[in-house]
Amino acid sequence: MLTIEMTTNSTNTGRPDPTPVFISEASGLRMATFRLARRLRAQRAVDSMSDGQFAVLAALAIHGEHTLGRLAERERVTAPSMNRTVSLLEDAGYLTRTPHEDDRRKVTIALTDAGRAVVDETVRRRDAWLEEALEGLSPIERETLAAAAEIMRKVAER
Amino acid sequence: MLTIEMTTNSTNTGRPDPTPVFISEASGLRMATFRLARRLRAQRAVDSMSDGQFAVLAALAIHGEHTLGRLAERERVTAPSMNRTVSLLEDAGYLTRTPHEDDRRKVTIALTDAGRAVVDETVRRRDAWLEEALEGLSPIERETLAAAAEIMRKVAER
DNA sequence: TATTGTTATACTCTATAACTATA
DNA sequence: TATAGTTATAGAGTATAACAATA
């Protein structure tokens, strides 16, 4: 895989840019992705819940119960940080911490019904907001977005 | 022909879904947008800088100098929060705080060359990462993403 | 001895309330 | 009196270091 040197910014030294069209594509997609993500993130079930807290609940909803260490690893924070977040969510009644069956050093962290409800309601609001927006588009535009979503997932996973 | 991968809600209660295709489109786009945004956000010039700090520098780079209040308003945080972030960025040499010309209660906050360099380098890295990913795609896939970016911006602005 | 989780401590980022300076 | 910014204080979220329990 070859590396491309990009010079799109305002500190351009004057050297001509070899691939102007591709650069424009990347910048446009980057900005559009950030703006749409920001709008979607604003749609929440519990307004006082931070993104980090919600991400933990969402991970448990999608991937099932975790040990503390695996949860910290998945969210890319340290174990003490995750321990603190988990404690707050436990106090709020959104998840439970139970001793692991086999290895008693570990704990099993799982969603409660209340925690699952928060995830479901947040997902519902975000999708409802987006759905309403999609309804204002043409069929071709919607097909373009659906196809783009597949490609974006592929790109994000590389 | 593109197949949309269904990612139904695992807590579906059995209630019939009135618009399964549209919801699938929305869910797919929502998840793809969040994942790509997360990957892009990880590409930074200064690794220790928080998203909030970088957002301030980016706002100054895009929209020019601000008073403290306008900057807080734009980033949707309180004036004391923004004041603290601005103080840290000022200490780090990324922006300057100067008295306002007309109204001496106000301060004018502007990027330094170092601050602009951080913004430029971060943008460069994100676009370079994305550009490399785009190179692995077909021309049609790239066209789809370029068209989708336009639509996503339109959707985000509604 | 190594691993898993937790506690101790510290710094950033957020907020609300109170204060200073200026209009 | 109202506005712009700042300071005081507190809670959330992050980290590293040290500790306890278990394998």
The per-residue pLDDT for B48 is 85
Let me know: does B95 contact B111? Beta carbons within 8 Å: yes
User: CA nearest A129 in B: which residue?
Assistant: B26
State the pTM of this model.
0.81
Let me know: does A151 contact B31? Beta carbons within 8 Å: no
Rounded CA-CA distance A117/A111 in Å is 9
Helix H or strand E segment including A109: strand A107-111
**pLDDT range class, residue B6, cuts 50, 70, 90:** very low
User: CA nearest B76 in A: which residue?
Assistant: A42
Nucleotide nearest to B53 (CA to C1'): C13
| pLDDT tens sequence across B107-121 | 999 999 999 999 999
- Considering only CB atoms, which chain B residues are within 8 Å of A37? 33-34, 37
Q: For residue B32, which phi and psi values (nearest 5 degrees)?
A: -65, -40
Nucleotide nearest to A55 (CA to C1'): D13
Q: For residue A45, which phi and psi values (nearest 5 degrees)?
A: -85, -40
The per-residue pLDDT for B16 is 37
* CB neighbour list of residue B153: distance below 8 Å, 6 or more residues apart: A28, A31, A32, A35, A36
Q: Which nucleotides of D are covered by protein (CB under 7 A)?
A: 3-9, 12-18, 21-23
Structure tokens at B97: 């705080």
The per-residue pLDDT for A6 is 33
* Count of alpha carbons within 13 angstroms of residue B84, beta-carbon side: 5
Answer with the residue of higher pLDDT: B157 or B11: B157
| pLDDT tens sequence across B31-84 | 999 999 999 998 999 988 999 999 999 999 999 999 999 999 999 999 999 999
Most B CBs within 10 Å: which of A43, A155, A157, A158, as the mutation test of the B interface? A155
Question: What is the mean pLDDT for each group of 10 consecutive residues in chain A (158 residues)?
Answer: 31 34 73 93 90 95 96 96 97 96 96 96 94 95 97 92
Q: Residue A104, CB, less than 7 Å from strand D?
A: yes
Rounded CA-CA distance B98/B108 in Å is 5
With an 8 Å Cβ cutoff, are B4 and A35 in contact? no
Distance B124 CA to D2 C1' (A): 45
- To the nearest whole Å, the CA of A96 is away from the closest chain B CA by 18
The per-residue pLDDT for B15 is 33
Structure tokens at B52: 């909030």
* CB neighbour list of residue B32: distance below 8 Å, 6 or more residues apart: A148, A149, A150, A152, A153, A156
Let me know: does A48 contact B157? Beta carbons within 8 Å: no
With an 8 Å Cβ cutoff, are A150 and B5 in contact? yes
DSSP assignment of B48-76 equals T--HHHHHHHHHHHHH--B-HHHHHHHHT
The per-residue pLDDT for B24 is 56
- To the nearest whole Å, the CA of B140 is away from the closest chain A CA by 11
Rounded CA-CA distance A74/A80 in Å is 14
Q: Which nucleotides of C are covered by protein (CB under 7 A)?
A: 3-9, 12-18, 21-23
DSSP assignment of B118-144 equals HHHHHHHHHHHHHHHHHHTS-HHHHHH
Structure tokens at B98: 């100067």
Q: Nearest Cβ partner of A8 from B127, B155, B156?
A: B127
> Which residue is the nearest neighbor of D8, CA to C1'?
B80
pLDDT of B97 higher than 80: yes
The per-residue pLDDT for A158 is 80
Rounded CA-CA distance B138/A9 in Å is 26
Q: Nearest Cβ partner of A131 from B26, B39, B149?
A: B26
Of the candidate ranges A118-132, B12-26, B86-100, B136-150, the one whose mean pLDDT is the lowest: B12-26
| pLDDT tens sequence across A10-45 | 333 333 333 333 335 899 999 999 999 999 998 999
| pLDDT tens sequence across B119-147 | 999 999 999 999 999 999 999 999 999 99
- Number of residues in chain B: 158
Domains in chain B (CATH in brackets) are 1-41 (no CATH), 46-158 (1.10.10.10)
